Structure 1
Amino acid sequence: MAIIAQSCSRKKDTFINRNFHALGTRYNILYNGELALERGKLAVNDEFTENFWELLPVERMNISEDVFLPGESRNQDFERAEEKAIKAIQKHGMNIDGKEKNYQIDEAYLLLGKSRYYDQRFVPALAAFNNILNKYPTSDKINQVKIWREKSNMRLDNNKVAIKRLKRLLEEEEGVITGQDLADATAALAQAYINIEARDSALGQLAIAANTTKINREKARYHYIRGQLFNEFGQKDSANVEFDAIIEMHRNIPRSFYINAHLEKSNNFNTLDGNLLEFEEYLVDLEENRENRPFLDKIYYRIAEYHRGQASDSMAEAYYNKSLRKTTSDNYLRALNYETLGNMYFERNIYKTAGFYYDSTMTAMQPNTKPFRIIKKKRENLDDVIYYEAVAQANDSILNIVSLSKEEQLAIYSDYVDFLKEQAIKEQELKEKEEQRQKNTIAAKTAAANTRAGKTLNNPNSLPGGGFNQNGSGSSFYFYNPSTVAYGKNEFLNIWGDRKLQDNWRLSNQKANNVVALKESGAKDTFEDQKYDPETYIASLPKEQGQIDSISKERNFAYYQLGIIYKEKFKELELSKSRFETLLKNSPEERLVLPSKYNLFKIYSELGLTRNAEAMKSHIISSYPDSRYAEILLNPQSELAKDENSPEALYTNLYKKFNEQKYAEVIAEADKQIKRLEGDGYVPKFEILKASAKGRLYGFEAYKESVNYIALNYVNTEEGDKAQDILDNAIPTLEKKEFVPDDKAEYFNVIYQFNVDTKEDVEAFVTILEQEVAKIEYFDLSVSKDIYDQNTLFIVVHGLKSIQGARGFAQLLQSDKKDKRGRPLKPKITRDYFAISSPNYAIIQRHKNLNAYLKLE
């Protein structure tokens, strides 16, 4: 016992002491700590989901952005491992004369660093690894420690430092560092190269790692990343070699790598030169393999992509939907399926269905990401397409019917009414069948219950047939079993319908007599409804020319908007061309003709329809020689970008006038340009500038009305979106008229009023006021001229700190002043004024409610 007690000392450097503490560290504390670390690593692996849609990371670990306070841990197992490492260092460390005598302490520091690394506390982990390098340079784990240190540096975005040190390690220890250490070092170096986008340099390091490691999971990962990189570089043959290496490992690796290697290899198949029959069989084998059931969502998606590439849209759609029915947690795949189906319906001009698919796409995407915003914008644009397509189709249909003779209209609506009657008859027939089926079911259940009761009461030993004859003895005769009879009747009705007892009852003309009866009698009252009368529909058609012209105008505007949307928003030039050409055939109003023809010229040019483009160009120049479009076509290099009559120049000049507070001029000129540039992309900009000028000159209500007009009439423009955002978010705040108490304001103003048409010298007044303001050094004051309304101009002194200070400043300017000899001078500022806080000044400018404020004074 004395020897054992003496060996517990950490201050004596003896053989017994060193080995006692080393053994206790190794087989007790570190053993339990390493078990906890392994449990934690398993939890990390379980939490991580491989995203095979992107380049895989070299190390399987999710990086969380959650912030933990000191002492908190993401994983209790890592916390326990850290505690064990610290206990080993504190309880069994033998630091004697500046040297560590316990040869297991470097292992404890390595465990400490690893547990912190997996707990995503990379700075403390780096400190633990550096401690080993500084204190234990001869440790047998030194190469591992260097690798872990650089892995920590990479997590802290010190990739260049990590690359420099790992390269030096591999060069200095060449031939020494082998096995798993070499695989870890080269894999870490590859990840550092990937992090700095030097992906070609990563290929060689991953090859060494894949050939060196004995862990099949890691080997598959390294091969897969190499295959992904080769695909990025367009080297499909080299990529297939990597995927084949994974496929050959088969059941020695996770099934996800095996399946995705097959799918990536199939993506590299050349459909132009390859054997399509063999490839289809290859895809079918993947689909039918029972082991691949957990991955059918991806397999179906790949098959769908193949059929779509072969222009077999019906097969592709079927497989996309099968993939959706199988998809569970892979939101990216779900979004791909929905988006692709949406695109397919969009290409077929089935916009409403496409919109539904885009809605589903967004539910599977991460909000506020770039792909989400792209789909959201496309969906919003699609709202306009759906609306205008519906308007165009409905109005086209109405105008087509109106153009027909009364006899032709009657024929069309008679056919429609006949169709409605047939539908009503079918619905009635189905209803009667369902009622009969329910009656038969009830009868069968009742008969079965009676039969069971009869068996129990009358003859428990009856025959299997279940029926009874008149003598009460059991019998298997069919018609003695009510349950069987009821079932037979039900089956007969389902197969033959309700038929009369007569000869040749099997003939088809004897079927559905109830339907004939319905036509002749039962539906007579139903068909007296107005919707079964053709005259009802004819009477609803527009008769007056004004109504017809309004429908035609609405239809033409819809076609124009569709042409613009397809061209500008979706780049669907063929669809845009079709809509513009249809519009021009419908004799549109003059304001739409020239913009449509110019857009058609640009579309013809982009589609390579040179002859059509030249013909349209000549037509515009000859028929509209004074238009800006003709000027653009005659001088395509400048496109009037610097011309004083171009929309850009006009808008710029008008904006300058807005800043000069010439609001009445801005409103008048904006109205003029909006009419002149109808259909041009700058029109919404003039509208929103006019709305701002109206708000400044006439107040809040005028501004709100103008913004609402823009939101309703320019829904497919950036300005329209901005107007809607203002209505939703800014207007509710701006419409508040209540004045703010002066004690809650920070800055105050002094206001002098002038009539806009006054003959007084406003500029002279401003000059004198600025001179007086310049003498006040303890406040940062300024003077401005602000338009209040059409008749009133404000001269404003800004920057005073209190309402009393504002009034005192104005009174100071009004006081009589004397020169150095005491002689009185004439007062310089004698005009009436009022003081107001900056928030309240904004309110009176916004709502033009100056009188209401002055009453409070």
Structure 2
Amino acid sequence: MLTQSCSRKKDKFINRQFHAMGTKYNVLYNGNIALERGKDAVNNEFTENFWELLPVERMNVSEDIFLPGQTKNADFERAEEKAIKAIQVHGMNIDGKEKNPQIDEAYLLLGQARYFDQRFVPAMAAFNNILNKYPTSDKINQVKIWREKTNMRLDNDAGAIEKLKRLLKEEDIEGQDLADATATLAQAYINIKSKDSAIAQLDIAAKNTEVKREKARYHFIKGQLYNEFGKKDSANIEFDAIIDLHRKVPRSFYINAHIEKSNNFDVLNGNQLEFEEYLTELEENRENRPFLDKIYYRIAEYHRTNTTDSLAEAYYNKSLRKTTSDKHLRALSYETLGNMYFDRNVYKTAGAYYDSTMTAMVENSKPYRIIKRKRENLDDVIYYEGIAQTNDSILRMVSLPKSEQLAIYTKHAEALRLQALEEQKQQEEALERQKRQVAPTAGNLKQKGRAVASQASKRPPGTSRTLQASGASASSSFYFYNATTVAYGKNEFLKLWGDRKLQDNWRHSSQRADIVNTSKEDEETGETIEDVRFNPETYLASLPTEQTEIDSIATERNFAYYQLGIIYKEKFKEFLLAKSKLENLLENKPEDRLILPSKYNLYGIYLELGLNQKAEAMKSAIIQDYPESRYAEILLNPQSELSKDENSPEFIYTTLYKQFENEEYAAVITEAEAQIKRFEGGDFVPKFEILKASAKGRLYGFEAYKEGINYIALTYANTDEGKRAQEIINEALPVLEKKEFISDDDTDKFNVIFQFENNSGEDIEAFIKTLEEEVAKIDYFDLTVSKDLYTENTTFVVVHGLTSINGANGFGELLKSEEKDKRGRVIKPKITRPYFAISSPNYAIIQRHKNLNAYLKLQ
């Protein structure tokens, strides 16, 4: 009866009270609980990124698009349902005026639920509804703040700033409302890059909020902004404010405030001993264990700044062992270690660290691409450094007298033998220790046996022995039921037989992998055979003795030095390393083709390093010794390099490419070879090589092309052309290599081919003109004519556009048949030349492999 009497349409005291109480203590109560639960979920999903400027509000904004009725979070959906229920069931809109004082809070709950569910346009509608219908609400200031927060999420920062400034000017707000308004205004200023204005607003927000988490956030953002402006003292004051709150704020803010403050330490003028004690205290505090990854990283950075690289490396690795979810920190540690090893010229290890760096980065981001490019360049360094070091070692050893060679290798072999014996000893000691730990005593085994027997005697009558054995296998005395005795047996086997592979004749001594024998007995002859690793003669025999072989090793070493010099200069800007490699190259009497480009590159390196006297001396040497070279021309007239004149490699390459398109393949090959010699060491040489290989492929076939591409991939491995050549080898060549002809039934494209010998004196152009006239008479096919070079001596004139092999043959015969004019007189055919028909795929095969005769034999 009470429910029926409390109508929403009657403006009575009891009606208003009933619906207000029901709204507040039932519907809105449950709705606000759901909202808080949803907000907790949002906070838990959000991971603070202290490496960047923190957002004022802790919330991840997703770019996912949701259809009407869809929601990200069930708690926000429930809060929204409760808000709507309060409005629909308990709203008392009588004569255009709301009589239930809780309805404005229902709309506020509705807007907040939609806001946190990231449906900002519907949220804005809810907030605007309060402003339009309930201007006297006691929540009006909160609603205005929430509306401007929503405006910011909709990228209307300017509008949000204008309205928030007006609110702060016109309304006397204080406490948490003032903190929320100024914090929102600060975020809007940050969004429009007016960060100095944001600091003042954050200061007000930090002073007025009673929520310690928010206070810590506002102070931290202020500290970050002060650091951006280079005001380290002011930043430290903000971080100290967080540190003073200690356990009242989340530990992550407390630790990162310490880290940021420590980053502002003046290494040159500060008290280093006191600072080291400060870092040690952070490291040893048990409460800081979850954050040791960042603390170790900060300590590593400090030691690296002090050039204590060994300590720095140790702490970077300690940080990596502790790092869990902070991928950015892991990437920083890996990259820094990679850079440290790169600076020490330990390129293989540096490359491994760069590989690990990329696993912790966002793929295809700008930092990822930078590291990836550096890593790819490092492949070339590792490759050529390996060649240079190995060949240098061989050449150095070859240059020594045999007595010194023998002494060095004897020492090396003995060191290997002692190391192997030490490793064997350690393995045997480890096996002995393990045996003592797991071997069961006879008394224990007897006791176990008595226990099993006792258990068996207590078995109830009729109980299955099998069932009991399976149920009590853990305490059975059967060998394989007892883990301890199995482990003991394994260790005894290892002690007696060693580590054996699972294979036939496993007992033979040669099958044992873990025991080092400096000699062994041949099973067939019974003779003792020395282990070759410990015989110095083994290494002596591996040294090259033929002069041609030694010269080949030196040539390979010199080319590696040249490539390293260019890579360090062009790709890493490591001018000292580049200088060292190229100078060493010139001292090693390299082949002529490397001397001039090495000197020219050294000239540029000397200029970069400020070694002007050396640069001038090198310039004079190039002009005097190579007056006709391109490099001398550039040095005498630097502007000529910039203008793409007819002598520049760019102009020459463009001209050659046009000749290639005109099928002047022989001329392209000859000219490309000349330019490769002329510009040896220049950036355009690999381009000329690619053009030459393509021309050879067109003229001589697949094998010539394959040979050229392989040469480019090996010789210019560090260039874009070399990498492209390797891709061709991996992907294209296996397809192009196929030379089996396909059936004519598997295609609908056919050609008619007329063959000409290039030196026969026949007028090919006149024939093409006549053929085109005849082709023009055929209107039921879309036919075209082309001239294709087949070999140096053979040219094809090709009619394209026929759709069957019979149609192609029929077209050829049609051209040879006689015609009659209107008066009935016979007209001799204009084209009587022999032809053959072929499908387009098979034509591509004969052009690629130059196997026309093989095709004609099949016809």
User: TM range, normalised to the smaller chain?
Assistant: 0.7 to 0.9
CA distance in 1, matches of 2:141, 2:812: 80
Structure 2 partner of 1:487: none
1:60 paired to 2:58: yes
Does structure 1 retain, via aligned residues, the 8 Å contact 2:768–2:785?
A: no
The 3 A distance-change label for structure 1 pair 621 and 36 is: same
Aligned mates of 1:120, 1:300 — CA distance in 2: 38
2:90 is aligned with 1:92: yes
CA distance in 1, matches of 2:188, 2:769: 66
Structure 1 residues 810 and 146 mapped into 2: Cα distance closer, same or farther (>3 Å)?
Answer: farther
Partner of 1:122: 120
Check whether the contact 1:604–1:612 (CA below 8 A) recurs between aligned residues.
yes
- Alpha carbons of structure 1 residues 677 and 193: separation in structure 2 relative to 1, 3 Å: same
The equivalent residue for 1:636 is 638
Distance change (3 Å), C-alpha of 1:323 and 1:764? same
| Aligned-residue offset at 1:618 | 1.5
Aligned residues: 783
Deviation at 1:431, TM superposition (A): 5.6
Q: Would you say the 8 A contact 2:752–2:809 is kept in 1?
A: no
1:545 alignment counterpart: 547
Give the drift of 1:671: 2.5
Q: 1:373 aligns with which of 352, 369, 379?
A: 369
> Secondary structure in 2 aligned to 1:665?
helix
Gaps of 5+ in 2: 452-516, 522-526
Between the aligned partners of 2:812 and 2:104, the Cα distance in structure 1 is: 80
Matched residue SS, 1:308: helix
Q: Distance in 1 between matches of 2:129 and 2:777?
A: 65
Listed as ranges, the matches of 1:33-432 within 5 Å are 33-171=31-169, 173=170, 175-427=171-423, 429-430=425-426
- Give the conservation status (yes or no) of the 8 Å contact 1:55–1:228: yes
* Contact 1:331/1:364, CA 8 A, preserved across alignment: yes
Percent identity for Structure 1 against Structure 2 = 68
Aligned-residue offset at 1:263: 0.9
- Tell me the distance in 2 between the aligned counterparts of 1:440 and 1:103: 82
Question: Against the structure 1 CA distance between its residues 178 and 521, is the aligned structure 2 distance closer, same or farther, given a 3 Å change threshold?
Answer: closer
- How far off is 1:288 after superposition? 1.8
SS in 2 for 1:639: helix
Check conservation: 2:520, 2:528, Cα contact below 8 A: no
CA distance in 2 between counterparts of 1:808 and 1:24 reads 95
Residue range with higher mean Cα deviation, 277-286 or 358-367: 358-367
Cα separation, 2, equivalents of 1:20 and 1:823? 114
Please report how far the alpha carbon of residue 48 of structure 1 lies from its aligned counterpart in structure 2 after TM superposition.
0.8
Call closer, same or farther: CA 1:310–1:809 in 2, change over 3 Å. Answer: same
User: Is this contact kept in 2: 1:592–1:679, CA < 8 A?
Assistant: yes
Whole-angstrom distance in 1 between the partners of 2:774 and 2:8: 85
In 2 relative to 1, CA 743–183 (structure 1 residues): closer, same or farther, beyond 3 Å?
A: farther
Q: CA deviation at 1:358?
A: 1.9
Are 1:598 and 2:600 an aligned pair?
yes
Distance 1:290 1:845 in 2: 76
Amino acid at match of 1:6: S
Offset from partner CA, 1:274-298 (integer Å, 9 cap, x none):
1112211221121122221211111
Q: How does 1:374-773 map to 2 (within 5 A)?
A: 374-427=370-423, 429-430=425-426, 433=429, 446=441, 528-639=530-641, 641-697=643-699, 702-730=704-732, 755=756, 757=758, 759-760=762-763, 762=765
- Distance, in Å, in 1 between the alignment partners of 2:838 and 2:193 is 60
Instruction: Give the AA of the match of 1:25.
Output: T
For the aligned residue pairs, the C-alpha RMSD in angstroms reads: 4.4
How big is the shift at 1:304? 0.8
Is contact 2:520–2:529 with CA below 8 Å preserved after alignment?
no
Classify the secondary structure of the residue corresponding to 1:625: coil
The change in CA–CA distance for 1:614 and 1:836 in structure 2 (over 3 A counts) is same
Contact 1:297–1:322 (8 Å) recurs in 2: yes
Q: Separation in 2 of the partners of 1:828 and 1:90?
A: 95
The change in CA–CA distance for 1:46 and 1:520 in structure 2 (over 3 A counts) is: closer
Contact 1:286 1:292 in 2 (8 A): yes
Q: 1:289 to 1:33 in 2, by over 3 A?
A: same
Aligned to 2:5: 6
**How far is 1:264 from its partner?**
0.8
Hey, what's the Cα distance between the residues in 1 that align with 2:546 and 2:583? 27
CA contact (8 A) 2:669 2:696 kept: yes
| 1:727, distance to aligned residue in structure 2 (A) | 4.0
Pick closer, same or farther for the CA change 1:425–1:292 going to 2, 3 Å.
closer
Bigger Cα displacement from structure 2, 765-774 vs 618-627: 765-774
* 3-state secondary structure, aligned to 1:269: coil
Distance 1:792 1:204 in 2: 83
Q: CA deviation at 1:796?
A: 6.5
Partner residue, 1:792: 795
Question: TM-score by structure 1 length?
Answer: 0.80
CA-to-aligned-CA distance 1:232-284 (integer Å, 9 cap, x gap): 22222222222222222222211111111111111111111111122112211
Contact 1:654 1:666 in 2 (8 A): yes
Greater shift after overlay, 847-856 or 255-264?
A: 847-856
Q: By how many angstroms is 1:805 displaced?
A: 12
C-alpha contact 2:752 2:812 (8 A) present in aligned 1: no
> Residue 182 of structure 2 aligns to which amino acid in structure 1?
T
Residue of structure 1 in register with 2:27 after alignment: 29
Name the SS for the 1:638 alignment partner: helix
* Larger CA deviation: 263-272 vs 133-142: 133-142
Residues 70-128 of structure 1 deviation map (CA, whole Å, 9 limit, x = unaligned):
43322111111122122222223334455444333332222222212212222332333
Partners of 1:543 and 1:392 in 2: how far apart? 19
Contact 2:606–2:615 (CA<8 Å) still a contact in 1?
Answer: yes
What are the ranges of 5 or more consecutive residues in structure 1 without an aligned counterpart?
457-517
Give the 3 Å change call, closer, same or farther, for CA 844–144 of structure 1 in structure 2.
Answer: farther
Counterpart secondary structure, 2:639: coil
Q: TM-score, normalised by structure 2?
A: 0.80
Deviation (angstroms), 1:53? 0.8
Secondary structure at 2:640 match in 1: coil
